[in-house]
Chain A
Amino acid sequence: MELADKLLAGDRRALARAITLTENEDPAAAELAAAIYPQTGRARVVGVTGPPGAGKSTIVDGLTYLYRQSGQRVAVVAIDPTSPFSGGAILGDRIRMRRGTVDPGVFIRSLATRGHLGGLSWHTGSVIRLLDAAGFDAVIVETVGAGQSEIEIMRHAETTVVVLVPGLGDEVQAAKAGILEIADVLVVNKADLAGADRLAKELDMMLKLGQPPGAASGEAWVPPIVKTVATSDEGLADLMAATERHQRYLAESGRFETRRRRELTAEVRGLVRELAGQAACAWAETAGRWERAVTAVVARQSDPRTAAGGLVREFLERR
């Protein structure tokens, strides 16, 4: 397949077009995903999340720069919400990402959530694989976190960086939304502002309270708290070191492999559900079973679960 070959050869337009096909659920995308899959699994994936206005894009810009300094090729996936009213979106993360704009070792792609509620795009995982296959050493995924949505990024990123700033009421929110549980590295950005030290202290206290067994012996990972002033690059080298330390920890403790196996299991399981479900529904519709089952449910002669169970049984025993 021509597009896959071009992508694997590092053609940026082919990569960009492949992402579009994937996002649009073009039939060619599945084929493409299969073709490039053997070439994936090499890039390290770092997720950056946090509330709006925390400085995520500026941090991603700084990290991109540091990765480039160390000779690595970097791709950035920046995700912004789709307007529920119009279905459109304004994707403005590139405004803050100015240092890699014409660097051939950097590739930035803005995605809209397109109705996906988790703060990510439906196809985040597939897009990461395309970038991985195109030869980027690191993929940074930036997403707006609000409430529960941060959890999803853990499925795609090996290292999740949660960015907080003083003054947004984050202290309270952190505890509520369980941000601490998903963070592999915590960043207190805008550390020059009043309240930064207090925020860092509070986070530290909360971490100590919820410390997992094995933390003291170094067996379990305790998220470090890094203070940054991203607009002037302060603390970003520390942040980079912390993410690298986390990646080393994952590799050396064997957790990297367990985690990857777990995520891939979940992905295959999810796809089985989706594909099997699609097949069952398609069969039920063409076989005329659908109308009958629904009518029974509407008439209260059958409950939805029993009706669905009946359809699935019939589907499995068909022939």
Chain B
Amino acid sequence: MQPEGVTRIVVDDSRAGPVCGPAGARPGASCGPGMDLPPELPEHRPSGGERRARFITISDREIRPLYGPEDVAGLDAEEDLGLPGEYPYTRGVYPTMYRGRLWTMRQFAGFGTAEQSNARYKYLLNHGQTGLSVAFDFPTLLGLDSDNPRSEGEVGRLGVAVDTLADMELLFDGIPLDKVSTSMTINAPAAVVWAMYIAVAEKQGVPSEALTGTIQNDILKEYTAQKTFIFPPTPSMRLITDTFAFGAERVPQWNTISISGYHIREAGSTAVQELAFTLADGFEYVRAGKAAGLDVDAFAPRLSFFFNSHSDFFEEIAKYRAARRIWARGMKERYGAKDPRSWMLRFHTQTAGVSLTAQQPENNIARTAYQALAAVLGGTQSLHTNSMDEAMALPGEKAVKIALRTQQVLAEETGVTNTIDPLAGSYFVEHLTDQMEKEALAYFDRIEALGGVVPAIEKGFFQREIADAAYRYQRQVQSGELSVVGVNRFVEKDRARIELMKVSPEVEGRQLARLAEVKAKRDAGAVRDVLTEVRATARGRGNLMPVFLRAVKAYASLGEIVDVLREEFGTYREPAIF
């Protein structure tokens, strides 16, 4: 995922306040707490003097100097924490956590043509990666074929281009789909792309029951943050509940949705907003599934989550712990789920793309490592670590390898996997966990007062909250209240150059040629018939998945199928929110 770019700030040293020289050479310079150090180094400040007027997290949460027993006085260890693998899962969803099984190391990748991405997947699998994560290009995310005029210049650029089943066959060529789990970042047209994956597996002789993986399929956060929407909310929710129903019956090991806070955070939200809006979306999907007549325990165990791991270490850890507790309580108490698997919030984490800097890009390796540690201490089930060059371009092979190795060092060397939820009982972490839960519940009340998630989207509530937080953050970096090393602190005049990967412009030509060839070779009459069937099903109430499967097998293109749905469902336009 490419992070946003325009928004990071350079502040001139002279305006950024005192700056540490190398090794803190200037006496009295504000260079961290200092300790019992040799005389040439700064003394700790006398009591009362602090380096800053306010100590805040990147989410503008003020942090006190000390937390103690009174801050966890209300905490009931049994009710609020429980044991790992037990309700309310604050301490983790599995009893053995990383002692039983490490998290899945899953690097998001995809670019150019299906062949190029296929080669990258094989490279990653050969270097010890344990799951695939597919990035699609923008035309695919918006349900446009490569030969659509709007796709010009964007084909294969930020992800792989998929027009027809032929591309999907090449993408997974030589990769046994019964052996790897695949995560696909696709939302508005997710159901159709998932149908392509199932069809490819079928051709490999792998039954859909054996498939494992995830489709992101989370349209609500598209309206609020990521903005790759196509249809209005109502038909979009129907597509999602269709995948829930189809998955429960035919692809039982597949996560039919990955309810994502990642993009909400990347769009500029605070940690609490990420937590609250993501879980609000999650509960909305549960309501939608129940409203579509599904038994909550038939689909809820396949709901998965996707969070960001940003730079404020403890706030992130508290966020994951609070998320598990809120979800478990909500599912059990409010939505009547009986199966413990419905109560468990399992999540994937990606380190924060927006935190990466183009300045001194190697610093991103360190930044990402701390963020990865927070995710692991927070009990993530899988993790993507960003590559150091991702602020500027698609990651190169070397950068991707370092990012993967960062996870491996964490897993194999640091020992943080030896014990479960090691920060439990910390006055600070427990207090923060509690605070974040309370603040999230307060957001739920505000959302409810607006009539629920979809009305709140239409009123621009989430969008405005996120835009406000993003602008405040920007101003805090600008003023020096928040530090970004290499950007407003420890700035270097010369910018280091790193090798950037470029997608060659020929990719588009090759993709267009393949699409033309597929269109020429396929049975045009069969495509016409199956598209008519798609239309009829869209107009009615039947599950769309079976007809999508027939359509992709006839090599109807993604754009052709989505166009029919556009005509039947209409398209969504963003409200004007700043």
- Give the Cβ gap from B242 to chain A, nearest Cβ, in Å: 21
Interface assignment of B84: CB less than 8 Å from any CB of chain A: no
Are A93's CB and B232's CB within 8 A?
no
Q: A53-B460, A231-B232 known; A98 and B573 CB under 8 Å?
A: yes
Interface assignment of A96: CB less than 8 Å from any CB of chain B: yes
Interface residues on chain A, size class: 10 to 19
Are B576's CB and A95's CB within 8 A?
yes
Contacts of A90 in B (CB 8 A): 578
Q: A53-B459, A53-B460, A167-B451 known; A96 and B576 CB under 8 Å?
A: yes
Interface assignment of A58: CB less than 8 Å from any CB of chain B: yes
Interface assignment of A159: CB less than 8 Å from any CB of chain B: no
Q: A167-B451, A231-B570, A232-B570 known; A92 and B576 CB under 8 Å?
A: yes
Q: Contact string, A208-227, partner B, CB cutoff 8 A, digits 1/0?
A: 00000000000000000000
- Give the Cβ gap from A233 to chain B, nearest Cβ, in Å: 9
Interface assignment of A57: CB less than 8 Å from any CB of chain B: yes
Interface assignment of B249: CB less than 8 Å from any CB of chain A: no
In the bound assembly, the distance between CA atoms of A259 and B373 in angstroms comes to: 73
Within 8 A of A (CB), among B551-578: 570, 572-578
In the bound assembly, the distance between CA atoms of A57 and B575 in angstroms comes to: 10
Are B460's CB and A95's CB within 8 A?
no
Contacts of A57 in B (CB 8 A): 576
Are B578's CB and A92's CB within 8 A?
yes
Within 8 A of A (CB), among B68-126: none
- Give the Cβ gap from B576 to chain A, nearest Cβ, in Å: 3
Q: Which of A53, A95, A167, A193 contacts B573 (CB 8 A)?
A: A95
Q: In this complex, what residue of B is CB-closest to A167?
A: B451
- Give the Cβ gap from B230 to chain A, nearest Cβ, in Å: 14
In the bound assembly, the distance between CA atoms of A178 and B485 in angstroms comes to: 57
Are A58's CB and B460's CB within 8 A?
no
Q: Report whether over half of chain B's contact residues are helix, strand or loop; otherwise say mixed.
A: loop
Contacts of B576 in A (CB 8 A): 57, 92-93, 95-96
Q: In this complex, what residue of B is CB-closest to A231?
A: B232
Q: Contact string, A135-168, partner B, CB cutoff 8 A, digits 1/0?
A: 0000000000000000000000000000000010
Within 8 A of B (CB), among A51-98: 53, 57-58, 90, 92-93, 95-96, 98
Are A58's CB and B573's CB within 8 A?
yes
In the bound assembly, the distance between CA atoms of A231 and B232 in angstroms comes to: 9
Q: In this complex, what residue of A is CB-closest to B572?
A: A231
In the bound assembly, the distance between CA atoms of A95 and B574 in angstroms comes to: 7
In the bound assembly, the distance between CA atoms of A58 and B570 in angstroms comes to: 14
In the bound assembly, the distance between CA atoms of A92 and B578 in angstroms comes to: 9
- Give the Cβ gap from A318 to chain B, nearest Cβ, in Å: 53
- Give the Cβ gap from A176 to chain B, nearest Cβ, in Å: 22
- Give the Cβ gap from B448 to chain A, nearest Cβ, in Å: 14
User: Which residue, B460, B570, B575, B577, has most C-beta atoms of chain A within 10 A?
Assistant: B575
Q: In this complex, what residue of B is CB-closest to A233?
A: B570
In the bound assembly, the distance between CA atoms of A231 and B573 in angstroms comes to: 8
Contacts of A95 in B (CB 8 A): 573-576
In the bound assembly, the distance between CA atoms of A58 and B572 in angstroms comes to: 11
Are B573's CB and A96's CB within 8 A?
yes
In the bound assembly, the distance between CA atoms of A231 and B577 in angstroms comes to: 17
Within 8 A of A (CB), among B169-227: none
A-B contact pairs, 15 of them (CB 8 A): A53-B460, A57-B576, A92-B576, A92-B578, A93-B576, A95-B573, A95-B575, A95-B576, A96-B573, A96-B576, A167-B451, A167-B455, A231-B570, A231-B572, A232-B232
10 nearest A-B residue pairs (beta carbon):
A92-B576, A95-B576, A90-B578, A232-B570, A53-B459, A96-B573, A95-B574, A96-B576, A92-B578, A93-B576
Given contacts A53-B575, A92-B576, A231-B572, 11 further A-B contacts (CB under 8 A): A53-B460, A58-B573, A90-B578, A92-B578, A95-B573, A95-B576, A96-B575, A98-B573, A167-B451, A193-B455, A231-B570
